[in-house]
Chain A
Amino acid sequence: MKWTQRHLLGLEEYSAEEITRVLDLAEEFRAIATRNDGPRDDLRGKAVVNLFFEPSTRTRTSFELAERRLGATVVNFDVATSSVAKDETLVDTARNIEAMGIDVVVMRHGCSGAPQLLARSIAACVVNAGDGQHEHPTQGLLDIFTIRQKLGRIAGLKVAIVGDIAHSRVARSDLHGLTKLGAEVYFVGPTTLVPRAFASLGAKVCHDLDAVLPEMDVINMLRIQTERLDEQPFPSVREYSRLFGLDAARMRRAKRDVVVMHPGPINRGVEMTPEVADGSRSVILEQVTNGVAVRMAVLALVTQAGKSL
């Protein structure tokens, strides 16, 4: 298979074959993803900048480890002390960075569509590390990778994604990726946070967690972003937890081998109780480990675009 994608802007733009190719390569990287015994040379001679316009700890760290373990020269662009604070536009910032000889830009940005703007403006490869409420494709890939690792397949699985779907870039990337690989995706949450329009994108829209819980193979609990609560999508955190939180009682009604996920960071006691987060069905820390392998695979592929693999 010839790899042609120079960017990873979203999973919407990737085919089932391309997603599977990333997952398969991540499988190969999985064994060395957590080892620090000297880098590979896939990205030797290449410079990668991590351009983060939004604070992020785990995603940025995960990308940085992936880049270093592939032998890249890594630059972290710190927005707080940069000229962005002096009203420089994204396009100018990117062109300036590119003028220093950058091969890959990994960007997190608060505005949906910012990676598309970047990819149109510069020649370097663009990897989206989360844009607004649009996509977070590497999170989607690591979620799918983790599910495949645990259950051996994606096709035919029922996956519930629970919480603030409307504002979630993870939910959108998971939906695109999982449905392309043949899973059924259930978007579960209050009517105010799960718009009906998602049904047209291929999701099953549901507002009653208990009704679908027993059939689910995977439950991915999204973080409730407290900064959104001034819009009052629900009356109180307590009521949200009662209707949509995952606790031991709900876990007893789930499948015995259900996989419980969370993109982190967890609001313990809101989306799920500590006993569930730390319980035997939780794969939350494995998701983090897999994240490095998946990001290594993405970086190795986009930088080889056009060459036969």
Chain B
Amino acid sequence: MAELLIKGGRVIDPAQGMDRRADVLVRDGRIAAVGRVASKAKTLDARGLIVAPGLIDIHVHFREPGKDAEETIASGAAAAVAGGFTTVAVMPNTEPPVDTEAAVAFQARRGAEAGLARVLPIGAISVGRKGERLAELGAMAQAGAVAFSDDGDPVRSPRLMRTALAYAAMFAKPLIAHCEDKELAGKGVMHAGLWSVKLGLAGIPAAAEETMVARDLILAEAAGGRLHVAHVSTKGSVRLIREAKGRGAPVTAEAAIHHLVLTDEALAGYDTNLKMNPPLRGAEDRDALRAAVAEGTIDCIVSDHAPHAAEEKAVEFALAPFGIIGLETTLPVLITKLIEPGVLTWPRAIAALTCGPARVLGIEAGSLAVGRPADITLIDPEAEWTIDAARFRTKSRNCPFHGWRVRGRAVATLVGGAVKFRL
């Protein structure tokens, strides 16, 4: 009987409304007790640390199959545990895309082989992510897909989207929608606003996101399926989601960490490591997102970890691919920019990284309740350090936070009771 005692930490488990000094006893990979525990088990001293349920990031891109040089499932899973994440859900925009039972099974197997963070595949909604024919959602669900999404190529046809929402409901899986009207977005490469006008870069208007959020909310309510809105980036989207939730609509939502801490102003130097889609928006949008996370309109915070080779990013701004990495920076940036200044409380921030995303996917994770798998993240909230992309576990370096002086980081990550990362 393998036992481990995590002793004397501040246990924050929002799923149980818990925030107090306590010990956590792990036995055979599961939580055996939380409280004052007397045990002769091997002890992990957690004094001065925060003991949280293992963090969950439901929006990451690993590049396997297709672009293994940018990220494999193993390298991505290593980056995940180094950043404090015990569970990640991977988007299906690989080459070829994950649109079959076999592809889902392949990713799940690769994740198991890596034996680091739990890797949960997200299947494509349509065959080839082309938005034409529905993929075999049922078979993919049976193979382990936790949700469905066409990722950055949102389903254009409202009829297909309605069908997919209704069909996925049979398997109790959400559809994750990257809400973007590609025609309104046009050739845009950054947020349409003062800064795009100033920099002479084509803009992606907020309306490109908001019109699709509105459409998908209406379709979800009509079809009875569950909708999860990916990386909400605008004030208007927040308003639409808040209203829909108020009506009891079956909708959840996420915000990416960079949208919570950066604005389009940061693009003044044309740094392609600040180019992502949806783009960094204005200060009003950032503030609306912060309020939405604080009040719970937004259920979870994600990294939208999107690795790209250095040479792909070392080009003219308009030509660079969208996307930045984030698994190893999300937690310290969150602590430094949102918790320390008092934008989010510790319990609320931890909820957005644990029980919030677990509820979105309907998975048994994100809590330290007795009997649950012992996925645990130990956080040192005081550690001061400088982010150095050269030391990342991820294979890519497209990180806008390189060189930031931050406070707080994961110092140990346990998956199923086993230590998978130790600083």
Contact = CB atoms under 8 A, between A and B. Distances in A.
Contact of B311 (A89, A112, A133, A200): A89
Interface stretch (A14-22, A113-121, A155-163): A113-121
B193 interface: yes
A169 B198 contact: no
Contacts of A198: 197
B314 interface: yes
B69 interface: no
Q: Secondary structure at chain B's binding surface: helix, strand, loop or mixed? A: helix
Nearest to B267: A113
**Residue of A132, A172, A201 with most chain B CB atoms under a 10 A cut-off:** A132
A259 to B, nearest CB: 26
Interface in B189-203: 193-194, 196-202
Interface string B362-387: 00000000000000000000000000
A90 B269 CA distance: 17
A107 B209 CA distance: 36
Given A117-B316, A132-B318, A112 B201 contact: yes
Interface string A131-165: 11111000000000000000000000000000000
B303 to A, nearest CB: 26
Interface string B310-342: 010011111100000000000000000000000
Contacts of B316: 90, 109, 111, 113-114, 117
A131 B315 CA distance: 14
Nearest to A168: B200
A91 interface: yes
Interface size class of A (residues with CB under 8 A): 20 to 34
B171 interface: no
A117 B270 contact: yes
Given A91-B315, A111-B318, A116 B270 contact: yes
Interface in B178-228: 193-194, 196-202
A195 interface: yes
Interface in A99-113: 109, 111-113
A113 B270 contact: yes
Range of interface residues on B (Cβ < 8 Å): 10 to 19
Contacts of A200: 194
B269 A116 contact: yes
A60 to B, nearest CB: 20
Contact of A132 (B194, B197, B200, B315): B200
A85 interface: no
Most buried by A among B194, B196, B197, B319: B197
A197 interface: yes
B193 A197 contact: yes
A47 to B, nearest CB: 24
A112 B317 contact: yes
A49 to B, nearest CB: 18
Interface in B220-263: none
A302 to B, nearest CB: 20
Contacts of B269: 116
Nearest to A118: B316
A169 B199 CA distance: 10
B197 A112 contact: no
Given A111-B319, A197-B194, 5 more contacts: A91-B314, A113-B318, A133-B201, A134-B200, A197-B198
12 contacts: A112-B270, A113-B201, A113-B270, A113-B317, A116-B269, A117-B270, A117-B315, A117-B316, A133-B202, A134-B199, A172-B200, A201-B198
Interface of A: 89-91, 109, 111-114, 116-117, 131-135, 166, 169, 172, 195, 197-198, 200-201
Interface of B: 193-194, 196-202, 269-270, 311, 314-319
In the A-B complex, the 9 residue pairs with the smallest Cβ-Cβ separation, listed nearest first, are A134-B200, A113-B270, A133-B200, A111-B316, A112-B200, A197-B197, A197-B194, A113-B317, A111-B318
